[in-house]
A and B are shown apart, each in its own frame.
Chain A
């Protein structure tokens, strides 16, 4: 019968597609929630990332996934591609499925507050991963790096190199999206270190990038045109190094750290690209946040909450600055190095 045939076709298309989908996702988080047959109830955590566009977020996401799998926790995923409204829907869907905890990477510190409140109302613990919220009475825990301290340590090293060069260096900073407290913390750390350096370094360009690689490229390009003698560049995130590289190579200034024409380069994050560039000798230093430690802490907070232990509202990732000088010893603790080596 044709009628039945059309039913069957439609259904089998759906089912076929669904099966493919399940097969594909099995490699990571496993199966459906609340379905374990054994006596102990399996925990479920919802993870909502604002983006997966840079390797930093991918590394964090993978680490959360792996840890959940190791602890027998079901992890539900949501990626919002920069759309706050979509993220809100994802969080609401987690709440509706009565997860045991929610880990959020928000787009900014304000729009996440209604989400936290919604979770509070359902009595579900919330962890903000890496990006803290603006001051609010909504209950949550933020696990985030101490941007100011790590950045200041990194820039201090860059300044020491500038002083060693013997001439007054002109500097440029690539800033992040300033509605993100991380971006603000890093900028403030940079400015504080420069201020301490006295007149050894003068900041001539502050490039707003909104965490966008193309904007960074255009910004660096015009700044280098206006000030061809810039000798020190700090980027608020390592993922913008390729933009800097492309501009400097065109100007013939992409040189290793021991070459005479070298532009002093520093960054933040400690990702695989930065590790690669440091190993090759182009980048002088980068502030490393301990992604893996942050992931462990985030999950621990939720486990603690389940166990009835109160969590602090803020957990600082102290991080460290890795430089050409201390690279050998600190390399094993740098997440970017782990990723880069795994890649090989």
Chain B
């Protein structure tokens, strides 16, 4: 069922093709780029583009992980708490003042392993509540956000009597100062998630569970296990984000990444991942992240005040969501 439009069939098909294409958001990125470049000479400089790229890595990692969860029809609001807890745990393992392994050559690998394990465990807890106790994802992850965030603060205060933990080993800090290293890790992780979704059994199962968990169960898909693994993977992605942020700021803190949550969901949804499950791709999310980052950076270079940037970003995300509804309803849906 479609609306009657006065344009001819041919023109409409061209528009429809463009709008329904999975590269639509990439096209929007180009529009943003073209809109900003004439006004801000710095915008298109290679230095600035590299800057945009390195600055969006934490968002890229988080949004990629979140995409896995969104595809199963869930949502994970607790990623910021996972980041904070991982950051504190990692810093407590290797920190120079009070770290359990301070000075030891094993400090950095053990700390990184501990951070990934922390993220995955938070995901396991969330996933277990959602898949096996059948609690709503929104509620579970909202409350675990409070719980794990509080836990991270307590852990930090108990050990170093402050929220922030400093003096991390220089090898670890290289992840922050050598931007190409962080970029390499993030790109590899995103590529891994892409291959997982597109090429493996677990990937197909994630989509199936998102489409219809009952049908999946009856068709022999281990629905519980698939759901839990989505949350655990997302937790691991949050931990990777924690590694980047901790290294870049040379501080372990429960407050890292707190402002990222809305951008994460926003980037995934702008990319085209459905909040109802069953639909989404890592590539789409990458486009969404790129779009948000370009927009934010461009507005920044125009020297707008901070609140103005926030207003415009909010408006643009809303418009993008509207476009998404529109293209689903009138182009793909009919």
A binds B: yes
Within 8 A of A (CB), among B171-210: 176-177
Cα of A89 to Cα of B306 in the assembled complex, Å: 13
Q: Are B304 and A21 in contact (CB under 8 A)?
A: yes
B220 within 8 A of A: no
| B18: chain A residues within 8 A (beta carbon) | 3, 6
**Most chain B beta-carbon contacts within 10 A, residue among A76, A88, A110, A113:** A110
Q: Are B303 and A76 in contact (CB under 8 A)?
A: yes
- Residue-wise, chain A 1-16 has the 8 Å CB interface mask toward B (1 for contact) of 1110011001101110
Q: Are A32 and B303 in contact (CB under 8 A)?
A: yes
Q: Are B300 and A179 in contact (CB under 8 A)?
A: no
B132 within 8 A of A: no
Residues of chain A at interface, number, CB under 8 A = 48
Q: Are A24 and B248 in contact (CB under 8 A)?
A: no
A197 within 8 A of B: no
Cα of A11 to Cα of B28 in the assembled complex, Å: 10
| A33: chain B residues within 8 A (beta carbon) | 42, 303
The stretch among B65-73, B144-152, B160-168, B273-281 that forms the contact with chain A is B160-168
Kindly state the interface size class of chain B when it binds its partner: 35 or more
Q: Are A10 and B28 in contact (CB under 8 A)?
A: yes
Residue of B nearest to A61 (CB): B305
Cα of A116 to Cα of B325 in the assembled complex, Å: 45
Looking at the assembled complex, report how far the CB atom of B86 sits from the nearest CB atom of chain A, in whole angstroms.
14
B12 within 8 A of A: yes
| A97: chain B residues within 8 A (beta carbon) | 42, 48, 301
Cα of A85 to Cα of B166 in the assembled complex, Å: 15
Q: Are A18 and B302 in contact (CB under 8 A)?
A: yes
B113 within 8 A of A: no
A93 within 8 A of B: yes
- Residue-wise, chain B 12-30 has the 8 Å CB interface mask toward A (1 for contact) of 1011001100000000100
Q: Are B51 and A110 in contact (CB under 8 A)?
A: no
Q: Are A17 and B312 in contact (CB under 8 A)?
A: yes
Q: Are A96 and B42 in contact (CB under 8 A)?
A: yes
Residue of B nearest to A117 (CB): B177
Within 8 A of B (CB), among A186-223: none
**Which 8 residue pairs are nearest across A and B when measured between Cβ atoms?**
A79-B306, A83-B259, A89-B55, A21-B304, A2-B15, A14-B35, A110-B166, A96-B51
- Chain A residues proximal to chain B, CB less than 8 Å: 1-3, 6-7, 10-11, 13-15, 17-18, 21-22, 24-25, 28-29, 31-34, 52, 74, 76-79, 81-86, 88-90, 92-93, 96-97, 108, 110-111, 113-114, 178-179
